[in-house]
Amino acid sequence: MFENLFRLVKIGKELGLNRKEISKVLLFGNTKNPTLYTILMIVAIIFSGIIVIFVVIIILGNIYPARALYSTVK
C-alpha cells in the first residue's frame, strides 16, 4: 500500500506537479468539501482505534473464568 503511495508521488513529481497538487489528488481534492471528508476520515481512524483498544483490553483482561481460584494452592 505504501509502495503504491510512494509510486504515485514519484509519478506526480515526474509530471511536474507540486506537493499541494499531489496532496489534492490523493486526499479528496476533487470533492465539494475536502476538509470535511479529511476530518471525518481522521475521526473514523481514531474511533476504530479506540474500539480495537477496548476489544484487546476485554480479551486480555478476562484470563481467569468467574469464581476460579488464581492459584492451585488452597
43-70: pLDDT as tens digits: 999 999 999 999 888 887 766 666 666 6
In the three-class reduction of DSSP (H, G, I as helix; E, B as strand; rest coil), residue 43 is classed as: helix
Cell of 1: 500500500
Mean pLDDT of all residues in 11-30: 76
| Residue 52: predicted pLDDT | 94
How far, rounded to the nearest angstrom, does the alpha carbon of residue 16 sit from its chain's CA centroid?
Answer: 30
> In sequence order, what are the residues at sequence separation of 6 or more whose Cβ sits closer than 8 angstroms to the Cβ of residue 25?
8, 12, 17
How would you class 61 by CB atoms within 10 Å of its CB: exposed for 0-12, middle for 13-18, buried for 19 or more? exposed
Residue 47, all three cell numbers = 474511533
Give the mean model confidence (pLDDT) for residues 17-39: 75
